[in-house]
Amino acid sequence: MSSDNPSLPATPLPRVGQQTAWRDFLSFTRQRGGFQLGLAIVALSLGLAVFGPHIGPYPTETALPGMPLQPPSWRHWMGTDVSNMDIFSRVIAAPRIDLTIALVSTAIAFAGGVALGVISGFFGGGRGVPKLLSEGIMRAADIIQAFPVFIFALALVGFRGPGTENVIAALAFLNIPYFLRITRGAVLQVRERPFVEAQRCAGNSEWRIAFVHVMPNALTPPLANISPTIGFSILLTSGLSFVGAGVPVPTPEWGSMIAIGAPNMMTGQWWTALFPGLVLGIVILGYALVGDGLKEFLDPVNKR
């Protein structure tokens, strides 16, 4: 039997009154300065990821002629580093690589985490092979999360060698258990709703119910966690690059720029590491603010 059977209760997708939802969102946003700031930062960072490498006044990967380590001036807004590269041009070019890594790894972690979360949540407490699968997934997540995050990231990159793809793979792997748990929690609630039983009576297979009917209704919590995960991934990427296990020099990347500037901080050239870190902090703050705002907006308790 087709699940499109009109006699069945409709899967309660939040499609009803999309316009109202949008208006709710706008009025919610208008009341919250922090959320607005976060959205602005996120939008700016995405814009820089696209255009950043092309709009800076100087090349981003080559040394300029002249003396290195020039302090900030009208010519070099954030000064120049030890190889006489323009820091401002590099700082605004960095989102290209940092955001690519963060977005791709978060997307993979989201897809993998949600899929596994649906399986482990929907089939948990059942019997037979799916139950074993569910248990296995949870135990694996436990073990992955038994390692301190940064050390595990370092080890993953260490064993596979540095490079963008390996950083993406490591971050995706690390974040999967996180999305998995959040999704599983939501699925455990959704699967108790009456429409699930209705779909079962209509003769749908369990797997179809899990992925076609339950999953769309359990997506809100993992979706709300995308933004903070992106911020966290940027932070980890910069940390890996800082110790030379992430994005190799001279690619403009905040963490590696801070590493380049680190020795100069001890000899007074404060601009070398200050600006990349400041921008990095602001961007991560932006993603955290957006995450907090979305969580509050989507949380049914606060919605009233």
Partner 1 sequence: MSSVRLLKYASRRLALLPVQLLLVSLIVFVLVRQMPGDPTFLYTGPFATTERVAEVRKQLGLDEPTYVQYVRYLERIAYGDFGLSMRTSQPVVADLRQRLPATMELILYAVVFSVLIGVPLGVYTAIRSKGALNRGVFVYGMTSGALPDFWFALVAIFIFFYKLHWLPGPIGRIDLLISKPQNISGLYTVDALLTGNWPALASASGQLVLPVATLVFIYMSLVLKNTRSAMEDMLRSEFVTYARAAGLPRLMQWRYALRNAMPPIITVTGILTWFLLGGAVLVETVFAWGGLGQYAVQSVVNSDYAALQAVVLFSAVFTMVIFLLVDLAYFLIDPRIK
Q: Which residues bind partner 1 (CB under 8 A)?
A: 34, 139, 143-144, 146-152, 154-161, 231, 235, 238-239, 242-245, 255, 258, 261-262, 265-268, 270, 273-274, 276-277, 280-282, 284-285, 288-289
Instruction: Name the minimum Å distance from CB 59 to partner 1.
Output: 25
Where are the alpha helices (H) located in the chain, listed in sequence order? Answer: 18-31, 33-55, 87-93, 95-123, 128-144, 149-160, 164-190, 194-201, 206-208, 220-224, 226-242, 254-265, 271-298, 300-303
Cβ distance to partner 1 smaller for residue 44 or 265: 265
Q: What is the rounded distance in angstroms from the CA atom of residue 5 to the CA atom of residue 11?
A: 12
Report the nearest approach of partner 1 to the CB of residue 254 (Å): 8
Question: Shortest approach of partner 1 to residue 145 CB, angstroms?
Answer: 9
- Quick check: bond before 12 cis, omega within 30? no
Given the complex with partner 1, which of 17 and 248 has the nearer CB atom?
A: 248
- Report the alpha-carbon distance of residue 95 to residue 101 in Å, rounded: 9
Closest CB 300 distance from partner 1, rounded Å: 19
Residue 248 Cβ vs partner 1, minimum distance, rounded to whole Å = 12
- Cα distances from 16 to residues 102, 152, 194, 219, in angstroms, run 33, 44, 19, 16
Q: Which is nearer to partner 1, 63 or 265 (CB)?
A: 265
Query: Which C-beta is closer to partner 1: that of 222 or that of 261?
Result: 261
Torsion-angle region of residue 12: left (phi > 0), alpha (psi -120 to 50) or beta?
A: beta
Short-list 122, 115, 120, 121, CA closest to 136? 120
Task: Give the integer Cα–Cα distance in Å for 297 and 291.
Answer: 10
Is the Cβ of residue 89 or residue 241 nearer to partner 1 in the bound state?
Answer: 241
Place of tokens 């002249």: 66
Q: How far is the CB of 142 from partner 1 (least distance, A)?
A: 8
Nearer to partner 1, 118 or 279 (CB): 279
